[in-house]
Amino acid sequence: MQSNVFNPQMLATARNYRGVSQTSLAADCGMSQSRYSKIENALSVPSAEDVDRLARALDFPTTFFGHWRHRHSDHCSSSVRVQPQV
């Protein structure tokens, strides 16, 4: 079973493209700015629900943030890994 791979660099790219602050985006997604910052800086792994909320708030598909399989699929894992930064 393949796990989801989250790329935090793409989250920062999407946030900057939309011109929103970490604080504003975190509030829109129902999380603290501290939690958001840890996700964007690869210090914390987001849940599938976090990624769904972030994608909706930024108006990007979840696949933009990595190799992502929709969480409602019968054959996918809900585990998430952070892609190593190069």
Q: Whose CA is closest to 6, among 32, 56, 42, 53?
A: 42
Which residue segments constitute the domains of the chain, with CATH numbers given?
4-82 (1.10.260.40)
Res. 21: pLDDT tops 90 = yes
**Structure tokens, 7:** 């790329």
Among the listed ranges 4-8, 11-15, 68-72, which one has the minimum average pLDDT value? 68-72
The dihedral built from the CA positions of residue 27, 29, 31 and 33, taken in this order, carries a sign that is negative
**Tokens 């598909």 belong to residue:** 61
Would you say 11 and 54 are in contact if contact means Cβ atoms under 8 Å apart?
Answer: yes
Reply yes or no on whether the pLDDT at 60 is more than 50.
yes
Between CA 76 and CA 15 the distance in angstroms is: 27
